[in-house]
């Protein structure tokens, strides 16, 4: 699992989510694309926020202790000598020191988060920033009641919030913001609220139609959208997304056939879904 994209969404099984695509339309279908593209199949089905956040924590404890993590910390030190990062061995230590009980005051924590955003083009530093933001991301979901009355499963709201936060970090990478964390969470709240309003409108729209079962052979809106990109400059992404979603092929298999690295392919698939399928 690589970079920030892994933490996007809760994993669902292919058959049930494909049905969700057909019934709930392009928006939720695209969200599931992000889910499937961001996660490896080895993580299994998810049903609750506890499952999702627990898996994120376990994944981070592995990624944050690697030699690559220590090299990324050295890079952060070299570019931000004003930060007191002495005594930290890896990026897991960075996240720990950014906790309320980590021994740093508010301004010190803000300076480290600002540096992480400035260096967020580096995958592991971007992942570090996302990891330290997770409590705040969940708090934003809580403020919006996890989409109660709109979204059936609270973990779906958390998954979308993680995806939107990751996209914000990518968009703002390289910027210097004195209070980066509050800025990200404020922007996230706006984006998540807009998503919930769109989902609410979609539910109202669906309620105006008869609930008869659709023919099994009917093409889903997501499949139609993917087909529209065939033969264009996005043909490769459309084909890979189709294979990931509708054929259930693993990310490693797709990366091997595509002659690309799994980590970079994850990021490409996620960006394609966010920018062209939602």
* pLDDT per 10-residue tile (average), the chain, 278 residues: 33 29 40 42 38 85 95 95 92 94 92 96 95 96 92 89 93 94 95 91 67 50 84 90 84 87 83 77
The confidence score (pLDDT) of residue 207 equals 61
The confidence score (pLDDT) of residue 187 equals 95
Q: How far apart are CA 107 and CA 103, in angstroms?
A: 12
Q: How far apart are CA 220 and CA 206, in angstroms?
A: 15
Which letter, b or e, does each residue of 6-25 get, where b requires 16 or more Cβ atoms within 10 Å of its Cβ? bbbbbbbeeeebbebbbebb
What global pTM score does this model have?
Answer: 0.60
Residue labelled with tokens 């979901």: 141
Residue labelled with tokens 């928006």: 27
How many CB atoms within 10 Å of residue 103?
A: 10
First to last CA, the chain: 24
Burial class (CB in 10 A: 0-12, 13-18, 19+), 136: middle
Which letter, b or e, does each residue of 74-85 get, where b requires 16 or more Cβ atoms within 10 Å of its Cβ? eebeeebeebeb
The domain locations on the chain are 1-45+221-278, 47-209
The confidence score (pLDDT) of residue 135 equals 95
| Calculated CA dihedral for residues 261, 169, 187, 106, nearest 10 degrees | 140
């Amino acid at each position: 699992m690589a970079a920030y994209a892994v933490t996007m969404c809760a994993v669902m099984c292919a058959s049930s989510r494909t049905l969700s695509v057909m019934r709930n339309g392009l928006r939720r279908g695209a969200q599931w694309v992000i889910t499937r593209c961001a996660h490896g199949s080895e993580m299994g089905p998810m049903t609750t926020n506890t499952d999702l956040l627990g898996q994120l924590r376990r994944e981070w404890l592995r990624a944050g202790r690697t030699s690559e993590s220590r090299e990324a910390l050295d890079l952060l030190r070299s570019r931000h000598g004003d930060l007191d990062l002495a005594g930290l061995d890896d990026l897991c230590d960075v996240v720990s020191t950014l906790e309320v009980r980590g021994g740093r005051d508010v301004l010190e924590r803000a300076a480290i988060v600002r540096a992480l955003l400035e260096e967020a083009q580096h995958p592991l530093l971007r992942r570090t920033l996302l990891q330290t933001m997770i409590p705040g991301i969940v708090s934003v979901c809580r403020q919006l009641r996890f989409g109660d009355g709109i979204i059936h499963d609270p973990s779906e709201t958390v998954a979308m919030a993680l995806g939107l936060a990751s996209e914000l970090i990518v968009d703002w990478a390289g910027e210097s913001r004195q209070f980066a964390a509050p800025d990200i969470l404020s922007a996230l709240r706006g984006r998540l609220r807009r998503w919930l309003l769109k989902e609410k409108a979609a539910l109202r729209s669906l309620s105006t139609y008869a609930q008869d079962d659709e023919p099994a052979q009917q093409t889903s809106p997501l499949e139609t959208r993917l087909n529209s990109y065939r033969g264009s400059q996005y043909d490769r992404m459309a084909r890979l997304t189709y294979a990931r979603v509708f054929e259930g092929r693993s990310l490693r298999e797709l990366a091997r056939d595509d002659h690309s690295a799994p980590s970079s392919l994850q990021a490409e698939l996620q960006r394609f879904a966010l920018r062209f399928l939602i």
